[in-house]
Structure 1
Amino acid sequence: MRVVVTIQHPGHVHFFRHPIAELEDRGHEVSVFARESDVAIDLLEAYDIDHEVLAGESDSLLSLAAVQATYELRLLRRARRIDPDVIAAIGGVAAAHVASMLGAKSLVFYDTEHASLITKLGYPFADVICTPDCYRDEIGSKQVRYPGYHELAYLHPDRFDPDPDALEAVGIDPDTPFAVVRLSGWGASHDVGHDGFDDPRAVVDRLEDAGLRVLLAAEGSLSADLEPYQFETSPDRMHDLLAHATVVLSEGATTAAEAAVLGTPAVYVNPLSLGYTTELDEEYGLLFEYTGEERRVRGLERAVSIVDEPAETWERRRERLVADRVDVAALVVRQIETLAQSREKSRSPTAAETGHP
């Protein structure tokens, strides 16, 4: 079968890289098309995934509309030549639109309830929408729920084994407790009107006072006094650092969830709650969600308090999570193959059409 995968964010590369490899190993043709976004192209190259870049980055909502239109038009032209059985994506606006024009099947994965612009533009055109069980919205008959999280497509223990050598690359001794602090850029369409820590310097100072070495991963610029805390590592090594951190303090939900499924306690500080952040908090106690007015103060103090808690606590909780949830990469492959088969059946001529019983 012929499959098209679209990539518009670094997280999409992580999510699809194992399914792409497995589909190709099973003899299927996979074409990957991407839009430049942060380190997405760097990741595709790091993982040696053949791809074609169809559009550049955007720096505002207005420019995003123009970039998206360019991306969809070029994707339509490429896909028309390929005649894919399935076009798969996260969010899936371009995938759903192009598939509907070509008679292909579209398979969309999503986990972000408050991204209403994406869901309004993409969901009506999609054939199948796969969401985690904890996704709060009911989509209808095209929705397929599964017991897992996007992050388990690439961080399930069957898929990922943390490399301790990543610590040396950023100057961290294996015995040194450290915190990874993820500061968001707040430029996404669903971030409008929201913000994060107003004084990152105070965050760093408080964590250092608790005995933690601090590594900053920030979108956008930092003040000169904080630049030494911003670490440099290849984009495919970030998860190694998350796995070995003492605690992760994040304004971004994805980074917090990645840490949690790796068994590293994560503190998520953001006014927007999601189904999966709440479940990782209430069901597994691996993520601590702070969304209210005092979220910055309360979240920072929770991150500090984690320093004194035994590592065995998080190991036990992670074991239970892994036992409850599926290998999402394997699920992606099954969903793509099933949808491709349904398209083939719908295109096969009936007995009446062929004249044969």
Structure 2
Amino acid sequence: MKIMVNIGHPAQVHLFKNFIWEMSKRGHELLISASDKEMAYTLLDSYGLGYIKLGSPGKSMAKKIINMLAMDVKIYAAARKFKPDIFLAHASICSPQISRAMKKPMINFDDDEHTYAFYKHLASCVCGFSGFRIAGENIIKIDSYKELAYLHPNWYHPDKSILGEKNVPFDGDYVVLRFAAWNAFHDVGKSGLGLEEKKKLIRELEKYARVLITSEDPLPEELKKYGIQSDPNKIHDIIYNARLLVCDSGTMATEAAILGTPTVRCNSYVGKNDLHNFIQLEQKYGLIFNYRNSDEAIGKAVEILKDQGTKREWKRKSDVLLADKIDVTSFMIWLVENYPQSLQEMKDHPEVQYQFKQGAMRRPLAASPPGEIRVNTHKY
């Protein structure tokens, strides 16, 4: 089978990496196209994954529209030569257009519904993760989070050797701050923490622990000393070993929750219209705290740091979550290898997905080391 995977964000490198490695080992051929978004290229290079460079999506809305057309052309040209049997992406607008033009099936994974209106008539199948509230003829619901494609215990094994590396403290006595860029297509009218709020957050938290920052946008000069210096592909080990994550972003909040690290999330999405996955992580599992007000978020962060037993309690809570949710990568492999019969089976018997719950399946093969991937980009 020939599979074309589109990467539009660094988080999607993690989403698809184990799927790509495992499908390659099974003899399938894959072609990756990738946008130059934050550290996407750096991550792909670090994992030894070859890819077609689509360029930057741009920051302004006008640039995004113009660049999307240019990306469409590049994806279509590559696909015409590669001749894929199926397309895969996450909340992509480009890939469904190309798959429809080539009359090939396209599976779009989605968890936030922001771009659904732009591709709903084009994708053959939409896989909605926990929190995806839209229902439809071509939508199947996955009882899991996209982050469990790479942080499920079947695929991720925490590494404490990160402690003491670069500027990460040996004793793990540190907090991680994650700041989003807020220039994505779906972020119009939304906001995270302002610069003064970030500085206040840092002042309060460094009274109790070392502060490390990871940011989509370049840090201002006065905050650069807090920047994480370790390799980007080690960020999950850094989060796992941290005492706390405070962020105004989404993906990393879910990652920290899964890893059992207390999480405080603060942005203008929070409220009655917040994404359901964040509501579930807070109200059902008690793993994150969501705030619109930065002072309330800072107060909760300080409260967590003052309690030395919080990490132990969060590990117990994350174990409950892991027992509920399915292994996304193993599900993806089953869905693609058995498509379209698997799609119909999910529609008729959605409980079939629970064969991929922890303890209900054989442990899959470990992810392949870099370099064992059948992806050739030179002729595309």
If the length of structure 2 is used for normalisation, what is the TM-score?
0.84
Match of 1:165 in 2: 161
Aligned-residue offset at 1:225: 2.5
Within the candidate set 235, 243, 246, 1:246 is matched to 243
Q: Distance in 1 between matches of 2:116 and 2:265?
A: 23
Match of 2:153, SS state, is coil
State the partner residue of 1:124.
121
1:189 aligns with 2:190: no
- The offset of 1:151, in angstroms, is 0.4
SS in 2 for 1:124: coil
Partner of 1:333 in structure 2? 333
Is the alpha carbon distance of 1:130 and 1:247 closer, same or farther for their aligned partners in structure 2, counting shifts above 3 Å?
same
Cα 1:212–1:153 change in 2 (3 A) is same
Q: Deviations over 1:281-340 (max 9, x none)?
A: 11111111113xxx2111111111112051221111011111101111111112222226
C-alpha distance 286-342 of structure 1, shift in aligned 2 (>3 A): closer
Instruction: Name which of 107, 127, 131 aligns with 1:134.
Output: 131
Q: Which stretch of the first structure deviates more once superposed, 196-205 or 162-171? A: 162-171
Write out per-residue CA displacement over residues 165-188 of structure 1, whole angstroms, 9 at most, x where no aligned residue.
Answer: 223223333324211011111111
The match for 2:175 among 175, 179, 203 is: 179
Q: Which amino acid aligns with 2:168?
A: I
Q: Could you tell me how far 1:194 is from its partner in structure 2?
A: 2.3
* Code of the aligned partner of 1:46: S
1:348 counterpart residue number: none
2:253 paired with 1:256: yes
Residue-by-residue CA offset, 1:56-77 (whole Å, 9 max, x unaligned): 3413221111111111111112
Q: Which segments of 5 or more consecutive residues in structure 1 lack a partner in the other structure? A: 344-357
Q: Give a deviation string over 1:219-273, Cα, whole Å, max 9, x none.
A: 3243432221112221101111010110000100101111001111111111112
Separation of aligned partners in 2, 1:144 and 1:77 = 30
Task: Give distance in 1, aligned partners of 2:237 and 2:342.
Answer: 39
Q: Secondary structure at the match of 2:31?
A: strand
Instruction: Please say if residues 87 and 104 of structure 1, whose CA atoms lie closer than 8 Å, have aligned partners that are also in contact.
Output: yes
Aligned equivalents of 1:338, 1:126: Cα separation in 2: 17
Render the CA deviation track for 1:114-173: whole Å, top value 9, x for unaligned: x2xx222212100100012332222x0111111110100001111111222223223333
Larger Rg over CA atoms: 1
Q: Do the aligned partners of residues 340 and 36 (structure 1) sit closer, same or farther apart at CA in structure 2, a change above 3 Å counting?
A: farther
Larger RCO (CA under 8 A, 6+ residues apart): 2
Per the alignment, residue 233 of structure 1 pairs with: 230
2: CA distance, partners of 1:176 / 1:127: 46
Contact kept in structure 2, 1:182 and 1:255, CA below 8 Å = yes
Offset of residue 81 of structure 1: 2.1
Name the Cα RMSD after superposition.
Answer: 1.7
Shift in CA distance, 6/288, structure 1 to aligned 2, threshold 3 Å: same
Structure 1 residue 278, shift from structure 2 partner: 1.0
Q: 1:144–1:12: structure 2 CA closer, same or farther, 3 Å change rule?
A: same
Q: What is the TM-score of this pair, normalised by structure 1?
A: 0.90
The corresponding residue for 1:156 is 152
User: In 1, Cα distance between the equivalents of 2:61 and 2:160?
Assistant: 39
Find the aligned partners of 1:254 and 1:22 in 2 and give their Cα distance.
Answer: 23
CA contact (8 A) 1:269 1:289 kept: yes
Once the two structures are TM-superposed, the CA of residue 218 in structure 1 deviates from its matched residue by 2.1
Native 8 Å contact 2:285 2:317 kept in 1: yes
Say if 1:86 and 1:340, in contact at 8 Å, map to a contact too. no
Answering whether residue 223 of structure 2 is matched by residue 213 of structure 1, we say: no
Partner of 1:82: 82
Identical-pair percentage: 30
Instruction: Kindly provide the amino acid, as one letter, of the partner of residue 131 in structure 1.
Output: G
What is the alpha-carbon distance in structure 2 between the residues aligned to residue 207 and residue 214 of structure 1?
7
The equivalent residue for 2:267 is: 270
Report the counterpart of residue 306 of structure 1 in structure 2.
304
SS for the counterpart of 1:315 is helix
Residue 264 of structure 1: SS of its match in structure 2?
coil
What residue is the counterpart of 1:321 in the other structure? 321
Task: Name the CA distance, whole Å, in 2 between partners of 1:312 and 1:222.
Answer: 32
1:83-121 alpha-carbon deviations (Å, 9 max, x no partner):
2111000012111111111111000001113x2xx2222
Contact 1:131–1:143 under 8 Å retained in 2: yes
**Residues in 1 aligned to 2:2 and 2:220: alpha-carbon distance in whole angstroms:** 48
Aligned residues: 335
Distance in 1, Cα, partners of 2:308 & 2:342: 51
CA contact (8 A) 2:8 2:92 kept: no
Q: Is 1:285 matched up with 2:281?
A: no
